[in-house]
Structure 1
Amino acid sequence: MVIVSYTPTADNILDCVEDAIRSLTESGLSPSYIICGMGSYNLLCDAIAARLKHGRKNVESFNHIPVLIDPFRTNEICVVPSPHDILGGVETVRV
């Protein structure tokens, strides 16, 4: 299994997250968490507000997947499966 960590732009952040969700699902795994740094979290909140055409709000989930902020990240975002699935072995890639 490959977990991709993206450094998205405002224009492609939702595409990156949706691609990561689709990739995990196609691998037979359930996406459990969206992990992002503060910069990518702000982009995510703005992108969701634009898509839903409402004011910006803090986001706690996207497509029913919890969003977690990692204070050690800045502009990266990734979607990960359960801890059990990660312990089974993963390859990580930064894009």
Structure 2
Amino acid sequence: MCHLQHITRPFLLLVASIGLAGAARAEESYEAFVSKYCIACHGPDQQEGELRIDTLSRDFALGGDTHRWAEVIERVNAGDMPPEGEPQPTQEEI
């Protein structure tokens, strides 16, 4: 049993660190995408469609802004956002 603990603890630490690294990369991707494609029209200076994307909750477990995020994702996936004439995300970014 003691031998198993020596294996389990490092394994759990590795798994946790991979999870945190993945979460950090996801956060960076989110921030980059929003900064590049959304914040100019849906940020602190301007709120087209009464949407300020940088203040939406990303805590989906609580569900506070889940419906707004669903709408944002739907509009981006449909190609409605960003609007014509604005830089468009690549498929890899979406």
TM-score scaled to structure 2, two decimals? Answer: 0.32
More helix by share: 2
Flag the structure with larger Rg.
2
Q: RCO greater where, 1 or 2, for CA within 8 Å and sep 6 or more?
A: 1
More strand by share: 1
TM-score scaled to structure 1, two decimals? Answer: 0.32
